[in-house]
Amino acid sequence: MAQNIEQNDSEESEPRNVVENAGGSEVLRNSRDQPLAMAELGMETSLAQTYTRRLSSSVAPSSPLPDGGWRAWMSVLAGFLSIMNTWGSIISFGVFQTYYVTHLNRPPSDISWIGSIAVFFLFAGGIVTGRLTDAGYFHHVTILGAALVVLGTFMTSISKTYWQVLLAQGLCVGLGNGSLQTPMMVLIATYFGKKLPLAFGIAACGSVTGGLVFPSMARTLLPTVGFGWTMRAIGFIQLGTLAIAVFSARPRLEPKKHGSFLDWTAFRETEFSLFTVGCFMVSVGCNAQCGPSVRITNLRYKSFMGVFFGFFFLSSYARDIQGMPYTESVNLLLILNGVGFVARMLPSLLARYFGTVNTFFALLFGSQMAMFTWIAVYSTSGLYVWTIYYSLVIGGVQSLAPAVVSSFSPDLQKLGSRMGMVFSVIGVGALIGSPIAGVLISALDGSYVGAQAFAGTSLAVGCALVFAAKEVARRKKNASLWTKM
């Protein structure tokens, strides 16, 4: 011990050489703040250059985010078209759920597994595809994803039994969705900084486009050409738009070849862990709303257990509880998705002034209020008003979710892994939320109150966890309560 102390004292008494960056050049100084010439150090020029190169490669900051430009906005286009086909088809599932219940002779709780599995793999696939994107396999993954989506849709068109539909539209399309979602979200995040919420908002409008196009096609074509050609028509649209998406996207960052699929160090960050668990609860709540009728939208992105319940169940709720005809119940879904354009763009603009995390939390709070107030809606006019409000808050949640993940992931080279981890947790919530809601509806003899309360409670818990994550991050920065985050 004495020898160690003497050695430490000796080391402390010696001047230590450090490197400082001055005007873009490296300057060597010792602990007495005296510049040191290379000759005094006895170092050869080649050795000094080697040392400087190694230092620069290890500490140099990454190139600044373009925050615009041709390639950046082409990545947004690619994301828009991808989300149109992934989230758009999922949001439209409520139209097909009604058809499946009638023609496959299965209860709503069984049919909802098709949409839930598709949502699960859309998110859960990110744990693999996110890391592959970081490693430089962006195009390999997205081309495979586009092929699976188109293949699954065409196979659904010739499916005759419940299990065939489950494998084609649930599993195959779901795996394709998962191979597209995370890579496209990561791609956009590598091009934008201050404009990231806006970029994600524009891309998220793809879910609105798909949510309008696909249900409209189904409503028009199902009575005239039948289920098979309706699905084939949707498949051809997916083929063309996904081809444009895949070949217009160009990764910006150098690949990170080494590393595990999971960034375990992320869970040492309290705010990231709280946010991830909060996203799980939001997913359960969102999908609890989606049980009998429709599904969610991007985002995206969040406390998702409750977010999708409205998408899955709104149409069936309108028919079963309000007595609306099928056509009018589908109109509710079109309104739900049509208002989504405003719901995705407005929060993105607000986030520039109030902060992405702050805006996201406010929208989550509004979402859980929407779930609880749905219980008190008894009239057709009230249901239309509620649908507009719900679309505004839930659309903002979905559009901002990827940007919030980015805000908790400062290292862009690990963004794919972290986003994949969060999305995978969301996928688990998406898988169980909708069937739970279906069981609650069946157990209460068709009453939706239990499912609505379950979705609202899940969203409320998720909202509280996201707020806790925000507070942990704020206190680490010693910032005030109203700090823009």
What per-residue confidence (pLDDT) applies to 299?
30
Residue for token digits 């010739």? 158
What per-residue confidence (pLDDT) applies to 9?
46
Write out pLDDT tens, residues 132-153.
888 888 889 999 999 999 999 9
Cα-Cα-Cα-Cα dihedral sign, residues 200, 202, 208, 212? negative
pTM (two decimals): 0.69
Give ∠ CA 358-264-401 in degrees, rounded to 5.
25
Cβ atoms < 10 Å from Cβ of 115: 35
Q: Please count the residues of the chain.
A: 485
Write out pLDDT tens, residues 423-464.
888 878 777 776 677 677 778 777 778 878 888 888 899 889
Beta bridge partners of 286: 305
Residues in the chain with pLDDT values less than 50: 1-62, 290-307
What per-residue confidence (pLDDT) applies to 5?
43
- 454 burial via Cβ count (<10 Å: 0-12, 13-18, 19+): buried
- Architecture per CATH, 70-476: Up-down Bundle (1.20)
- 248 burial via Cβ count (<10 Å: 0-12, 13-18, 19+): middle
Closest-CA residue to 297 (of 115, 157, 470)? 115
Instruction: Please give the single-letter amino acid code of residue 89.
Output: S
Q: Is the peptide bond before 300 cis (omega within 30 degrees of 0)?
A: yes
List Cα–Cα distances, 273 to 13, 203, 268, 466, 469, in angstroms. Answer: 43, 26, 8, 10, 8
What per-residue confidence (pLDDT) applies to 216?
83
